[in-house]
Amino acid sequence: MVDDCKGKDRVEALRREIHRHNYQYYALDNPTIRDDEYDQLMRELLQIEEKYPELVTADSPTQRVGGVVQKGFTSVPHRVPMLSLSNAFDEGDLREFDRRVHNNLPGEEVSYVVELKIDGLAISLWYEKGMFVRGATRGDGEMGEDITVNLRTVKAIPLRLTEEVPFIEVRGEAYMPKDSFLRLNEAREEAGEQLFANPRNAAAGSLRQLDPRITASRNLSVFMYAIGFLAGNNPGSHDKGLAWLRELGFRVNPEHKVCQDIQEVIAYCQQWQAKRFDLPYAIDGMVIKVSSLEQQERLGATLKSPRWAIAYKFPAEQAVSTIKDIILRVGRTGVVTPTALLEPVQLAGTIVSKATLHNEDIILQKDIRIGDKALVQKAGDIIPEIVQVYPEQRTGQEIPFTIPTTCPECDAPVVRVEGEAAHRCTNENCPAKSREGIIHFVSRGAMDIVGLGEGIINQLIRSNLVKDPADLYDLQYEELIRLERMGARSSQKLLDALAASKNNSLSQLLFGLGIRHVGERAAKILAQHFGSLAAIRKAQVEDLTNIPEIGPRIAESLVEYFNKPENQTLIERLAKAGVNMQEQLVQPAPGEQTLAGKTFVVTGTLQGFSRQDAQQAIEKLGGKVSGSVSKKTDYVVVGENPGSKHEKALQLGVTVLDEEGFIALLES
């Protein structure tokens, strides 16, 4: 034990001083101490803590790097979903975004905050009473991976805030500076290790190390760009929020600007597009957000992205190659997609040998021919595509291409549905559809069956062992071990993975079925709403469209899918194999279901709740939240600027609660 107060007082003084210098260096970019002086403070603190280990605290600057190697990362939920942003690729897209915003906010003044889009890995940081308690990746937007031990090693992340905020979740981007990336790859090359393709991949790989000491050695940094959740009053606007985050000790990129109209936004984007490569870190675009948080709340979000923000992607890197051939691939919904085979070319950090051609309209519009010289780029810096060909360089040997009238896999007729650009195979039993459907079924986000890659699936189909997803659960050890590259160990591991997948959530199964227009988020919404696949199968279009975020296109696709006899048979076989058909709903204790059977609609801006928080509070007590007011609605909760839903509630005689009344109902 410490025999006097001197050691304790000195430790606290050292921590305060080191935290202050960290704030000056990382948050303000204004160091007030030399590196050797800072190192001396750290050494003194370490010496005292080694002498008096009972004085060590979780927020001490000495406790950033742990020595324990992790076994893996656990999944953790995001209190508010981390949605992805929709993209703009040119000035026209930005003007269209501005038009949509103003159409939804008629007559209102709108200002935008424009920020650099850091090319890194999205992260979420949680603080309780000013202390860093948890850090996670974005994951699928609703669930991320807990990487707290690794994020603690990033010196730009404060372990203690300058204010004791009761609870705050902050979002940002972890990245690797360009010089750190070059040094890392030089070291890996000398060691004979595989090189990272780009700084983004290096940052992502570094944060997923099981040994936090490796993460600590990678010199990562962060820029925080948003408040995900805050217990208490919000700052009112995004730009004020950024300023407050900086005051709290977070590293906020100083290169952001409040713009009063879309023309000013475009000019600022063009300014940074011209000097993007001058920065010490990689950026791949700009992010434009409506500044007013109240306007953000009213604009809301789609299934995948907020309506109040957009990412402007800089034009991609480009290279010239030769189109060697055009091949066709049949997808799980029967779409026949042409792909160009290219002479391999280096592009944006990777070797590119293929480029999607999307559909026949694109081929005809760009006059793409086999043998052409072509300008290739990565759309969104991810997917290779052909920008244009060079007709003036043709030799006369180039071959025009059209989509054939029969399927390349099964010879069934290929048709183009009116109103669509895609050609589709008409054979419901096309082997390519089956193959792609199985590949999707086992993929990450769906049933996530580890060890069942495309090569193994192709072998299983060729061996007549598998024709659809249900056949996977009939596979035997003796059948698997006869396949190429499948030994005793890998065969057993695959069987174990298949067995484990039977306990997956209903939302994973629903997404894995590959129903047109039903993505991961729609699958989760449906599973949570209905609770079982049997209930979803019985639902009609009207039932489905009454669910918030489920539109007619999704509803009609679901009803069409479940009405087909072959799909009904598939589901029955999956159920017989033991695949879970129920969603594991979180049920409150019986005594807490005070709102069971009650339907709510929330409208307007609440002071103490975000829309998501209000919904969670209602559902926790057994209630349901709807997106529209009807005679079946029990309560309408109104905040500021409630709009037409409030008026309809009054017309129908539905009980209306203000925020105070809503809180009283929750507490009762």
Q: Give the residue numbers marked as catalytic.
A: 117
DSSP labels, 491-539: HHHHHHHHHHHTTS-HHHHHHHTT-TT--HHHHHHHHHHH-BHHHHHH-
Spatial CA neighbour of 370 closest among 327, 401, 338: 401
531 in Cβ contact with 583 (< 8 Å): yes
436 is in an annotated binding site: no
440 in Cβ contact with 361 (< 8 Å): no
| Residue 463, amino acid | S
Strands 131-137 and 599-603: unpaired
What is the C-alpha to C-alpha distance for residues 576 and 554, in angstroms, rounded to an integer?
A: 27
305 is in an annotated binding site: no
Could you tell me the end-to-end alpha-carbon distance of the chain, in angstroms, rounded to an integer? 49
Grouping H, G, I as helix, E, B as strand and the rest as coil, residue 161 is coil
289 is in an annotated binding site: yes
DSSP labels, 628-640: S--TT--EEEE-B
269 is in an annotated binding site: no
CA atoms within 13 A on the CB side of 238: 27
Strands 599-603 and 624-625: parallel
What is the C-alpha to C-alpha distance for residues 379 and 385, in angstroms, rounded to an integer?
A: 6
Angstrom CA distances, 280 to 120, 222, 251, stand at 13, 13, 15
CA gyration radius, the chain: 28
| DSSP 8-state code for residue 428 | T
Helices 5-22 and 35-51, axial angle in degrees (round to 10): 150
Query: What stretch of H or E contains 347?
Result: strand 335-347
| DSSP 8-state code for residue 595 | T
5 is in an annotated binding site: no
36 is in an annotated binding site: yes
Angstrom CA distances, 113 to 80, 260, 268, stand at 21, 9, 11
What is the C-alpha to C-alpha distance for residues 508 and 524, in angstroms, rounded to an integer?
A: 8
Q: Which residue has the tokens 């559902």?
A: 619
**Cβ count within 10 A of residue 655:** 14
100 is in an annotated binding site: no
156 in Cβ contact with 350 (< 8 Å): no
26 is in an annotated binding site: no
Q: Give the bridge partners for 346, in sequence order.
A: 351
Which tokens go with 347? 């592009």
410 is in an annotated binding site: yes
Angstrom CA distances, 541 to 202, 544, 554, stand at 46, 5, 9
Spatial CA neighbour of 320 closest among 395, 399, 387, 401: 387
35 is in an annotated binding site: yes
Which tokens go with 440? 């999707």
**Helix, strand, coil % in the chain, rounded to nearest 5:** 40, 20, 40
- Count of H-run helices and E-run strands, the chain: 25, 24
3 is in an annotated binding site: no
Spatial CA neighbour of 124 closest among 180, 62, 173, 59: 173
Grouping H, G, I as helix, E, B as strand and the rest as coil, residue 174 is strand
430 is in an annotated binding site: yes
Which tokens go with 616? 């969670």
Q: Which residue has the tokens 């033991």?
A: 578
Q: Which residues contact 141 (CB under 8 A, 6 or more apart)?
A: 78, 81, 82, 83, 84, 521
Binding residues: 35-39, 84-85, 115, 138, 173, 289, 313, 407, 410, 425, 430
Binding residues for NAD(+): 35-39, 84-85, 115, 138, 173, 289, 313
Binding residues for Zn(2+): 407, 410, 425, 430
